[in-house]
A and B are shown apart, each in its own frame.
Chain A
Amino acid sequence: MKDSINIQVDQTENLATVILSGEVDLYSSREARKIILELASRKVPIIIVDLSGVPYMDSSGLASMVEGLQKVESYKGKFILSGLQPMVNKVFELSRLNTVFTIYEDIDTALNELDEKNAPVGG
Chain B
Amino acid sequence: MKNQSKQSNKVSLTVPGDARYLKVLRSVLESVGQIYDFEEKDIQSMQLAANEAFANIIEHSYCNQANCPIYITLSSSKDKLQLELEDEGIPLEPEKIKSRALEDVKPGGLGVHFMKSLMDEVIFDTSNKRNRLILIKERSKSNERFD
Chain A interface (Cβ < 8 Å from any Cβ of B):
1, 4, 23, 25-27, 56, 58-60, 62-64, 66-67, 70, 86-87, 89-91, 94-97, 100
Contact = CB atoms under 8 A, between A and B. Distances in A.
Contact of B19 (A25, A59, A87, A96): A25
Interface residues of B, number: 28
Interface in B60-95: none
Interface stretch (B1-9, B99-107, B120-128): B99-107
B63 to A, nearest CB: 14
B107 A67 contact: yes
Q: Main SS of the interface on chain B? A: helix
Contacts of A56: 26, 47
B134 interface: no
Contacts of A59: 52, 55, 108, 110-111, 114
B32 interface: no
A1 B16 CA distance: 15
A2 to B, nearest CB: 10
A101 B146 CA distance: 20
Contacts of B102: 95-96
Nearest to A96: B102
Q: Main SS of the interface on chain A? A: helix
Which 4 pairs of residues, A with B, have the shortest CB-CB distance?
A: A86-B147, A27-B19, A63-B107, A90-B146
A100 B48 CA distance: 21
A95 B19 contact: no
A33 to B, nearest CB: 9
B107 A23 contact: no
B22 A25 contact: yes
B55 A87 contact: no
Given A26-B58, A58-B52, A66-B105, A87 B20 contact: no
